[in-house]
Structure 1
Amino acid sequence: MKKYTSKFFKTVAFIYMGFPVVYLFAAAILFDIPVSKCVQMILSPSYYLLSILAVLSGYGLWEVRPWGWYVFLVTNILVVYSNAVMATHYAESHHTVLSFIFSMTLVIGLLFKIGREICVPYFLPKIRWWESNPRYKLSVPAKFKSAKTNAFGEGDILDISLDGCFIKTRTDIPLHEPLSMNFTMFNISVACPGIIVWRTGSTVTHPRGIGIKFAPVPRVQRRSLRMVVRHLGRITSLHRSRYIMGQEEFARRMDALMSTKLDQPV
């Protein structure tokens, strides 16, 4: 799956696999830590724990494993804490506060950038709340066809964005297989090409299915896809605010959104 990630993503994964050396070197420069105190850091058990988690997260990102993102998230939270400790006990710089703020900004930017690339339906699908709610369950059947073998398949879309989707299916199609797919949602028909970048064989963490990364689609089809994704966003937003409104009002508004028929763009 790593062939479908950016060079920046691969670089970050590679850096984190070399975290024990890279982090020590970067921290020494950023916080102006002398060699004697660097030795104290190396002898600290917390340094080894952080290094193990960082290397593990780097490997997880490199292999584009779903668990890699969560380990990466925990690792960077600990990095911020570690930077605060270094700024307080080890740093000899006159600008420790600015250095810490800079490091925290860098970590936040890194989490945002990596999160946008890995937290997508075809790598890390989110099973929407309506998949487990019988009353508001959205059944979105999709059909797809292999571009190489012309084999047909069908399944249910469980997560979708402008860049790709995750389809629950038992159809056996090889990884990296290009295909074309089509589905209808809220009265809008969408057809787009894509490629299979992820497959799940077990049902422990995710249903058995395939992650499809969309190829560039025609402008009209992209407008159709954008309308569908935006409307799903409205449904999700309403569900999040269900606790601040009456049950009858929530049910009325939700039923209205679920039965909405959008106009097909031309």
Structure 2
Amino acid sequence: MTSPSKPLIIILMKRRPWPIIILAFIQILMPFFNILMNAWLENVSPDIYFRAFVHFQPPAKVATFFLLYLISGAAIFLMKKWSYAVFLLITSWNILSNIIIWVRDYYPSSHSLWTDHSFWILVLANLTNIAFVTYYLLPSVRKVYFDRTVRWWESKPRFLLKILANFQQNKNPQSIPCTICDLSMGGAFIETSQQLAMGDTITLSIPLYDRSIQIKSTVIHKREGNSSPEAKGYGLQFQRNPETDKKIKNLTACLRSFGFPLRWEPESTWESFVDWAKKIFSKQAWLPLDH
């Protein structure tokens, strides 16, 4: 039985979660926050501190200072399995380097640690990094990185259709009628009275103008059809190659130009942000898969 929360998950994951976008942006801006804090500690303007930093530090260190945060932000934003390890490694390195730099350059020798501004900035910076790590270790957030099925925004458009077509089974030249109910770059869903088994390979013939497109496909799931009691529904995965991809790309371009509806339409970026902002103080806003 389908969990009642599943439709909510599908809706919320039509776009990349806003907390991820915001935190990725914060990571990219971290070098500039660091410049502001260090300039304040040295009692100079941010412009003077930046010029001195670039002039006196080795080019490799300057590049690392900016690139590590840029890589971390990009990893968070892209939301791949490798992103997780990259983010954790860079954040761990930042925590360690903050401590080393503070001990080397700012450790107070003539006054109390508790009244030293640099110490509290170190604590704040490292607590911020630890908060980021803690957030990404939460199961609801981790799932988005490791379970591609919830990242609907990465899916190719799936068009809703009702097209009469036919297919041939392996070792059977007879054409068998079917109805294509939806189609995307990766596969299609068909209904037919013919019994098919999981893993069966068929050649689907899709009519297009005065000719048809043949695409080899594999049956990957099945369920009851909707058009008639005897109809069975089958999910097909196209067997991809450069030639097939070109055919399907042309076909989906035709479907788009003809105005065929999509299974789901993504929200505009602004509408999505406003909807998230309205729930910003709720658990759902920060843990979109935790219902």
TM-score by length of 1: 0.42
TM-score by length of 2: 0.39
